[in-house]
């Protein structure tokens, strides 16, 4: 953990190391006026990730996925299903290598030119993850499998192809509610990718 001159880490406890790592950090923090204040925060470390929007400029289409997400289910998403851009954890890989692998596993497309467009903390109040965002064009001749994810990772992913404007309008209708997907679709709209 890196240190900042205005923070003194006093205690760093692992609360859970079951799926990923949940830590409770006790620290002293120097406020703007110079006074020190003791704080405790929990941080969930699931590793960093990468996400990609596959688009076809000629056909004006995008590839997205649909899969069950337990956290969304327990927070009121009635069936737990989310429409998302393809994504995955880095797991010791470089972001570009990760997203190429995830794209092929999840969507069945072996994309050629992958371009990083930005990176962002997704929920910095409690999760350590930085997500690397990519875009890539896809075409029919890049399809090497049906996709769907890996059985050993308990993935059951449906591959979806939408006209770009339909996908973009799904944000407004509340049909796409995944932050990374919204960010990538808005990037595509702003940059005129499709």
Nearest to 61 by CA among 146, 150, 168, 177: 168
Dihedral (Cα; 192, 181, 86, 148), 10-degree rounding: -120
Pair 111, 167 in one domain: yes
Cα 158 from chain centroid? Answer: 17
Rounded Cα–Cα distance for residues 144 and 157 (Å): 16
Distance (Å, rounded) from C-alpha 34 to C-alpha 38?
A: 13
47/41 Cα distance (integer angstroms):
18
Residue 2 counted as domain residue: no
- For 42-72, what is each residue's pLDDT tens digit? 999 999 999 999 999 999 999 999 999 999 9
Q: Are residues 37 and 61 in the same domain?
A: no
The pLDDT tens digits for 79-94 are: 999 999 999 999 999 9
> In this structure, what CATH number is given to the domain that contains residue 161?
3.90.79.10
């Amino acid at each position: 953990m890196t240190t900042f001159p205005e923070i003194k880490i006093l205690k760093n406890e692992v609360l859970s190391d079951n799926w990923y790592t949940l830590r409770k950090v006790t620290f002293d923090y120097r406020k703007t006026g110079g006074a020190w204040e003791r704080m405790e925060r929990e941080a969930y470390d699931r590793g960093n990730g990468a996400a990609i929007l596959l688009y076809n400029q000629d056909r004006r289409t995008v590839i997205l996925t649909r899969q069950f997400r337990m956290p969304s289910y327990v927070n009121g998403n009635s069936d737990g299903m989310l429409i998302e851009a393809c994504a995955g954890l880095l797991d010791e890989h470089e972001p570009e290598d990760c997203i190429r692998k995830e794209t092929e596993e999840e969507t069945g497309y072996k994309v050629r030119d992958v371009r990083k467009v930005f990176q962002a903390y997704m929920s910095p109040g409690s999760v350590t993850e930085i997500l690397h965002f990519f875009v890539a064009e896809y075409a029919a001749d890049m399809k090497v499998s049906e996709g769907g994810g890996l059985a050993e990772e308990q993935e059951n992913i449906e591959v979806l192809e939408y006209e770009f404007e339909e996908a973009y309008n799904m944000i407004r209708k509340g049909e796409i509610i995944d932050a990374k997907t919204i960010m990538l679709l808005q990037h595509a709209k702003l940059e005129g990718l499709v």
